[in-house]
Chains A and B, each alone.
Chain A
Amino acid sequence: MLDNNIEITTDDKERAVLIPSPTTPARHTEKQTTPTQIKMSVRDVNFFYGDKPALHQVSIDISVNRVTALIGPSGCGKSTFLRTLNRMNDTIPGTRMTGTVKLDGVDVYQSIEDVSTLRTKVGMVFQKSNPFPKSIFDNVAYGLRVNGINDKDLIAQTVEQTLKKAYLWGEVKDMMDNSALALSGGQQQRLCIARALAVEPEVILMDEPASALDPISTAKIEDLIAELKKDYTIVIVTHNMQQAARVSDTTAFFFEGVLIEHGPTRQLFTKPNKKKTEDYITGRFG
């Protein structure tokens, strides 16, 4: 049994014994028929909660218009990693990060003057649906309004388009002024996705978006992800390996803050390169 709180600052030799070190970043080129463009590229990211390390030397490339799944046992750092991509970790006091995260080649920690600009480009959907206690319309319009859009027609138009994109329009078009809290759990989560889509992001981060939902709602969300992939780059954290297999193009396996392996989903689930990955996907731990 491995110690969950393994010191990531341990020297390389010791770590090499414990976990295979991903000195090379993602290896997912083999089966890719068309070369893809890189939307986000992450290099050597370390992350600390106070003194406690949570991520160690994570490097990964996120391809455009693909779904990248992040899997791993709970506490492995996958959610923490997701939140470094839109700098949501900035909101947690006492945390520290090193390394670079680039969006379209621009370092999001160095070059973007206002973090909110980044977050309009890299949207996020959370584990538990978190609609504002406002009307359905106001929920979707929120991102537009806070980013300085006052044109009522444009807002109404965008809200409608966005809800259609999230396949929610038919269900809510007659109750736009009702409280979002009155929706069912699955509808709330799709509303949150619509809300994220409204500001026209380029990347959407999803943190276990279906973990609190029933199977039918989950299926709807997964269908939606497949659809959204055409226009967006999606990174999804999931604890459900079947889900990862269903929705993603590439999968990254995290273990104890280290990115163990990243490759095409089918390959990672059938012929993983690393022993640790195999142990995890075959259910020997986790």
Chain B
Amino acid sequence: MTISAPTKTENATVTASKLVFKPKSRGYFPKGLCLLASLLIIIILAVVLVNIAIGGAGMITWDFLSSPPENGMESGGIFPAIFGTVALVILMTVAVIPVGVFTAIYLQEYTRPDAWLTRLIRLAVNNLAAVPSIVFGLFGLGFFIGFIGGGIDSIFYTSEGPVWGQPAIIWASLTLAILTLPVVIVSTEEALRTIPRELKEASYALGATRLQTIWRVILPQAMPGVLTGAILAISRGAGEVAPIMFTGAAYYLPYLPSALNDQFMELGYHIYVMATQSPDVEATKPILYGTVLVLLMLTFALNFVAILIRSRLRLRRTNA
């Protein structure tokens, strides 16, 4: 074999090219525009966060976190709001986790993905996630307070005034539980998908029933996903104000909620009240900033933990 010296081949002359290609631009313009958009978002986020951090940092003291508001919210702390928020999301979590987790299990383990009921449930989950939060507030008022609470009152407490048929922490937390249901379902489903089929088959092969397999194999494996879902739900629930405005949150309470039918103070609602209803906005501003910072740190910390767990979960899937 002789390696012939490279020559211009005849091919080029056979199809005499009439096409003259132009040199291309490097696309700096479209790339630059997209980069600019991304940078703007980053800058805006930074401005918002830095502004809140600077405004609120000085306020975060033990005293602020542990004492009640005073003097028409112009001084004092936010302890009742923190307490109310925590109580609210705990109740919400207790309600939403079992329902969300077992819905996810049903969707992933019990049905084929193209069954009509599965698709209908999925449709409902996706649409539930898009319902405006104020609509949840209306629903909580009409359903939980009016229908359920009012119903209980009319059966058991006929002689008294409203006992359950009034805004209360239980109704607010149940409203939030419905609002955060899609979060838990989606997150749990993602975890369930990472469980290798062999693991379930091994359990079935040893004679375990489906329920036993779910209880002993699938659920323990899905725990990180359930946890992520719970944390994301808490983070979402802690930040929502519109659904709790009419279902239980109070402007100001001289006492902490101690029963399920008590009203409560809440951080987000507290922010709304201080920002819009305060007679002297300038005077409440430092406390307002401090409260915003507390709420933001709470939600971000929760989100951060959820992201950490989720990324470890994804690692498991790619390694599987």
Q: Which residues of A contact B (CB under 8 A)?
A: 24-29, 35, 37-39, 41, 61, 64-65, 102, 104-106, 114, 116-117, 120, 144, 146-149, 154, 158, 199-200, 202, 231-233
- A38 and B20 CA atoms in complex are apart in Å by 25
**Which residues of B come within 8 Å of A, CB atoms?**
1-12, 14-15, 17-24
- Are B17 and A200 in contact (CB-based, < 8 A)? yes
Which residues from chain B contact A104 at a C-beta distance below 8 Å?
A: 6-9
- The answer on a CB contact under 8 Å between B15 and A29 is no
Do most interface residues of chain B lie in helix, strand or loop, or is the interface mixed?
loop
**Inter-chain contact A39/B11, CB cutoff 8 Å:** yes
The CA of A147 and the CA of B20, in the complex, are separated in Å by 9
Contact status B10-A37, CB under 8 Å:
yes
| Interface pairs (8), CB distance under 8 Å | A35-B4, A39-B11, A61-B1, A64-B9, A114-B24, A147-B19, A148-B21, A233-B11
- Shortest distance between the CB of A85 and any CB in chain B (Å): 15
How many Å lie between the Cα of A76 and that of B41 in the bound state? 47
Most buried by A among B5, B6, B14, B18: B6
A106 CB contacts on chain B under 8 angstroms: 6
Task: From the candidates A27, A37, A199, A231, name the one contacting B1 in the complex (CB within 8 A).
Answer: A27
Q: Assess A102 versus B15: contact at CB under 8 Å? Given A26-B1, A147-B22.
A: no
Q: Would you give the shortest CB distance from A228 to chain B, in whole angstroms?
A: 11
Taking A148-B24, A202-B11 as known contacts, 5 extra A-B pairs with beta carbons closer than 8 A to each other, sorted by chain A number, are A37-B4, A41-B6, A147-B21, A154-B19, A231-B11
A232 to B14, CA, bound (A): 10
CB distance from A36 to the nearest CB of B (A): 9
In the complex the two chains form, what is the Cα distance from A59 to B5 in whole Å?
Answer: 16
In the bound complex, residues from chain A placing their C-beta under 8 Å from that of B22 are 147-149
Q: Tell me, rounded to whole Å, the shortest Cβ–Cβ distance linking A56 to chain B.
A: 20
Contact between B4 and A38, CB atoms less than 8 A apart:
yes
Q: Is A64 a contact of B10 with CB atoms below 8 Å?
A: yes
**Residue from A41, A117, A200 within 8 A of B19 (CB atoms):** A200
A32 to chain B, nearest CB (A): 10
A65 B11 Cβ-Cβ under 8 A: yes
- Min CB distance, A133 to chain B, in Å? 20
**Chain A residues positioned under 8 Å from B8 (CB to CB):** 104
Question: What's the minimum C-beta distance from B189 to chain A, rounded to whole angstroms?
Answer: 29
* B19–A116 touching, CB < 8 Å: no
Inter-subunit contact A232/B19 (CB<8 Å)? no
The reply to whether A28 and B9 contact each other, CB–CB distance below 8 Å, is no
Q: With A and B bound together, what is the CA distance between A233 and B20 in angstroms? A: 21
Q: Closest CB of chain B to A231's CB: distance in Å? A: 6
**What residues of chain A lie closer than 8 Å to B2, measured between beta carbons?**
29
B19, A158: Cβ atoms under 8 Å?
yes
Q: Of residues B3, B12, B14, B21, which shows the largest number of chain A Cβ atoms within 10 Å of its Cβ? A: B21
B3 A61 Cβ-Cβ under 8 A: yes
Pair B24/A116 contact, Cβ less than 8 Å: yes
Closest Cβ of chain B to A264, distance in Å, is: 12
Chain B CB within 10 A, most for which of A27, A147, A158:
A147
With known contacts A105-B5, A158-B19, A200-B17, A232–B11 Cβ distance under 8 A: yes
Chain A residues whose CB sits within 8 angstroms of the CB of B12 once the complex forms: 202
Provide the residues of chain B in CB contact with A27, threshold 8 Å.
1
A124, B291: Cα distance in complex, Å: 61
CB contacts (< 8 Å) of A144 on chain B: these are 19
User: How many whole Å from A157's CB to the nearest CB in chain B?
Assistant: 9
Residue of A nearest to B26 (CB): A114
Q: How far apart sit A35 and B19, CA to CA, in the bound complex (Å)? A: 30
Are A41 and B3 touching (Cβ within 8 A)? yes
Contact B23 A114 (CB under 8 A): yes
Given contacts A149-B21, A200-B15, are A37 and B9 in contact (CB under 8 A)? yes
Nearest neighbor of A36 in chain B, beta-carbon distance = B4
With both chains docked as a complex, state the minimum distance between the C-beta of B313 and any C-beta of chain A, in angstroms: 24
CA distance A220 to B15 in the complex (A): 23
Expressed in whole angstroms, the Cα–Cα distance for A147 and B5 within the complex equals 30
For A61, the chain B residues whose CB sits under 8 A away are 1, 3
Question: How long is the Cα–Cα vector from A105 to B3 in the complex, in angstroms?
Answer: 11
Assembled-state Cα–Cα distance A161/B15 (Å):
12
Contact assessment for A105 and B6 in the assembled complex, using a CB-CB cutoff below 8 Å: yes
Query: What is the CA–CA distance of A198 and B98 in the complex, to the nearest angstrom?
Result: 60
Neighbour of A29 across the interface among B1, B7, B21, B23, CB < 8 A: B1
CB of B23, distance to nearest CB on chain A (Å): 7
- Complex contact B7–A37 (CB within 8 A): yes
Q: Which residue of A lies closest to B12 (CB)?
A: A202
Q: Closest chain A residue to B18 by CB distance?
A: A154
Q: Shortest 8 CB-CB distances between A and B: which pairs?
A: A105-B6, A148-B22, A147-B21, A64-B9, A29-B1, A202-B11, A37-B9, A38-B4
B3 in contact with A38 (CB, 8 Å) = yes
- Distance of A24 Cα from B1 Cα, bound (Å): 9
Known: A105-B6, A116-B24, A120-B21. A28 touches B11 (CB 8 A): no
- Best-buried of A27, A104, A120 by chain B (most CB within 10 Å): A104
Q: A27-B1, A105-B6, A148-B24 are in contact. Are A64 and B11 (CB under 8 A)?
A: yes
Shortest C-beta distance, B7 to chain A (Å), equals 6
